[in-house]
Amino acid sequence: MIDGFLALYIFMLAAFTGYEIISRVPVILHTPLMSGSNFVHGIVLVGAMVALGHAQTPLETAIGFLGVLLGAGNAAGGYVVTERMLEMFKSSKKAEGK
Amino acid sequence: MMAAFLPTLVKASYFLAALLFILGLKRMSSPRTARGGIVWAGAGMLVATLATFFLPGMHNLPLIAAAIALGTLAAWISGKRVAMTAMPQMVALYNGMGGGSAAAIGAGELLKFGAGEAASTTQLVLGVVGALIGAVSFSGSLIAFAKLQGWMDRRFVFAGQRFVNALVFLAALAAGAALVAGRLEVGVVIAFFALALAFGVMMTLPIGGADMPVVISMYNAFTGLAVAFEGFVLQNEAMIIAGMVVGAAGTLLTQLMAKAMNRSLANVLFGNFGAARGEAQ
């Protein structure tokens, strides 16, 4: 069980981690990073799976199903779009090397 | 024996996923390593999702698999087919889905608490706040998507808009406070979500298309926070850490993007009201 203060410590440390990761990022990477972090919060899928997995009533099941559907869309879509954005960095790097 | 071992294994996989997310984002923040970063984060997602199937006491497994297959397929195909120029609105769309998912988790948990499941006050408060932020991010992102997609090319502005928006927001807060105070009835839950969704729509409607990337980045941070808060309600460490990292990174990124446009965030969000008044004169 994570109590209030333990959660507060986790929130604080995770927030500093996120802040530090972004703090010195070039402008060209703003959009890919937004897309990449959009993918990372697709972890909401895991929570939606737990919610659907413990649903009792038909209403809870319907809400849980919707949650899993949307969460999977967030994760899969976020991955594809980020990968396609970052592909452009590969080709430009090769061109520089030549 | 096996039943005692499995939860530890799932927890370990969540730890691994959180680690891979942070390392992946770190790699994505430098042009040389950016491409590998998404693969690291993707591996983390795969591990966490597969492990969750092995949590003890889970029902509806075929239904879960069907929903994942359907959501993944639809998003994968749409993400692959879309033109490179249409990427920002796809990010908005997928981000909205994440916010909707967090709101759905919040709704489900609130209904369970209403049906008598025990909850601490902290869980109740964070569940309500997370659901509010998630719902705003969901409807706001969908409007951002519609605007960038060209389905809604006119800004929607009327006199006293800021006042009306503030009223809707306060009404949503009041419904949320009623839920926290223990009035966990289905009617109050529905009113709470209707108001939160309406606020997301009304907040985004007056903002012009050129400012949308900043707004999408802000909703991205919102969804991260919503995921972290619902993660606390579900006692899920991976959601808490990944959500909070994105919440903080997204907030900073939003400020950097606004700065790159020589604007402040407040100017992006509310500046158009001055412009509208100027047009009317």
Chain B CB within 8 Å of residue A6 CB: no
Q: Count Cβ atoms below 10 Å from residue B57 Cβ, excluding itself.
A: 9
Enumerate the residues of chain B whose CB falls inside 8 A of the CB of residue A48: 101, 104-105
Task: Verify whether the Cβ–Cβ distance B38 to A83 is below 8 Å.
Answer: yes
Task: Verify whether the Cβ–Cβ distance B42 to A1 is below 8 Å.
Answer: no
Domain membership of residue A19 (yes or no) is no
Indicate whether B175 pLDDT > 50: yes
Among A3, A38, A63, pick the best mutation site for testing chain B contact (most B Cβ within 10 A): A38
> Which pLDDT does position A92 carry in this prediction?
52
What range defines the domain where residue A53 resides?
27-88
- Grade residue B278 by pLDDT with cuts at 50, 70 and 90: very low
- Grade residue B279 by pLDDT with cuts at 50, 70 and 90: very low
pLDDT tens, position by position, B207-248: 887 889 999 999 999 999 999 999 999 999 999 999 999 999
pLDDT tens, position by position, A47-78: 999 999 999 999 999 999 999 999 999 999 99
Least-confidence region, from A61-70, B38-47, B105-114, B268-277: B268-277
Contact B224, B250 (CB under 8 A): yes
A-B Cβ pairs (cutoff 8 Å, strict): 337
Task: Verify whether the Cβ–Cβ distance A42 to B28 is below 8 Å.
Answer: no
- Closest alpha carbon within chain B to A3: B122
Domain membership of residue A62 (yes or no) is yes
Integer Cα distance of B133 and B135 in angstroms: 6
Enter the pTM of the model: 0.91
- Tokens representing A40 are 């990372």
Counted domains in chain A = 1
Domain membership of residue A5 (yes or no) is no
Task: Verify whether the Cβ–Cβ distance A46 to B49 is below 8 Å.
Answer: yes
> Which pLDDT does position B154 carry in this prediction?
73
Share above pLDDT 90 across residues of chain B, in percent, rounded to a whole number: 74
Domain membership of residue A42 (yes or no) is yes
Domain membership of residue A93 (yes or no) is no
Domain membership of residue A1 (yes or no) is no
> Which pLDDT does position B275 carry in this prediction?
45
> Which pLDDT does position B272 carry in this prediction?
59
Tell me which long-range contacts B113-121 makes (C-beta under 8 A, separation of at least 24).
B113/B184, B114/B184, B114/B185, B114/B186, B114/B189, B115/A56, B115/A57, B119/B233, B120/A4, B121/B180
Domain membership of residue A22 (yes or no) is no
pLDDT tens, position by position, B110-147: 999 998 888 889 999 999 999 999 999 999 999 999 99
Q: What is the DSSP letter of A97?
A: H
Task: Verify whether the Cβ–Cβ distance B253 to A30 is below 8 Å.
Answer: yes
Contact B24, B48 (CB under 8 A): no
pLDDT tens, position by position, A2-56: 777 888 999 999 999 999 988 888 888 999 999 999 999 999 999 999 999 999 9
Half-sphere exposure of B87 (CA within 13 A, CB side): 19
Contact B89, B78 (CB under 8 A): no
Report the number of secondary-structure helices (H) and strands (E) in chain A: 4, 0
Domain membership of residue A38 (yes or no) is yes
Indicate whether B191 pLDDT > 60: yes
> Which pLDDT does position B71 carry in this prediction?
97
